[in-house]
Amino acid sequence: MASKTCLLIDIGNSNVGWKIDNDYSSVNIKDFQPSAIPRHQFSVIACVSNHQLIQHFSNPTIIKPKPYKGLIFDYNLEQLGVDRFLGLVAGYEKYPEQDFMLVDIGTFVTIDMVQNNCHVDGGIAPGLEHLQMSKTFTGNDSRQSWQLGTENMLRDTIEKRCDAFNGLILITGGGQAIVDIKQAEYHQNLVITGLETINGK
């Protein structure tokens, strides 16, 4: 079909996700096949890594962090990851004038807060896979214990940060199943939601 549709794409460290109309798909970078891309005329792309994949999308517009409405950033925008920027835009649009914490759990874990319309950097940490790969063991028991310990450590850290925050909590990212924070909202992909906002949808 010759459609003038726009494909929204999130190219991350480990996964590439896209949305067209209301259909969302995500695949591990290792399993990415250009033939799986839906037909489209234009694309709007957030890319933090694996930049070579951009060539597979039609008429791409690459989104970069930039000043946004009344949101004051506690970060050099030239250094802020576009994934973090778009997640903040999505949260800011969804909850204007409200304080919120955004936790993106993926290859890396990023924490960002908006308080009184000001962005507060909460830091970047290794994700679960990076933590578990940081040490190797020869025995199965030690390997399983390490996997359990790193998962518990990451979960406890995220939950502690969330418990200490007085405001809304938004969780996104491919590894979000590691936590079960009752007071949080879970979102499939706030990067794509931010792209929708930037793209005027």
Position 27 in a domain: yes
Structural domain tally of the chain? Answer: 2
* Per-residue model confidence (pLDDT) at position 200: 74
Domain region containing 193: 82-198
Residues 52 and 140 in one domain: no
Claim: this prediction has a pTM higher than 0.85: yes
pLDDT higher than threshold 70 for residue 165: yes
Tell me the CB-side half-sphere exposure of residue 137, using CA atoms within 13 A: 10
Burial 99-115 (b: 16+ CB within 10 A, else e): bbbbbbbbbbbbbbbbe
pLDDT higher than threshold 80 for residue 19: yes
Residue 169 pairs with which residues in a beta bridge? 101
Residue 44 maps to which CATH number?
A: 3.30.420.40
Q: What is the pLDDT of residues 73-95, one digit of tens each?
A: 989 999 999 999 999 999 999 99
Residues 89 and 170 in one domain: yes
CA distance 50 to 175: 19
Residues 86 and 180 in one domain: yes
Other CB atoms within a 10 A radius of the CB of residue 161 amount to 18
CA distance 176 to 153: 15
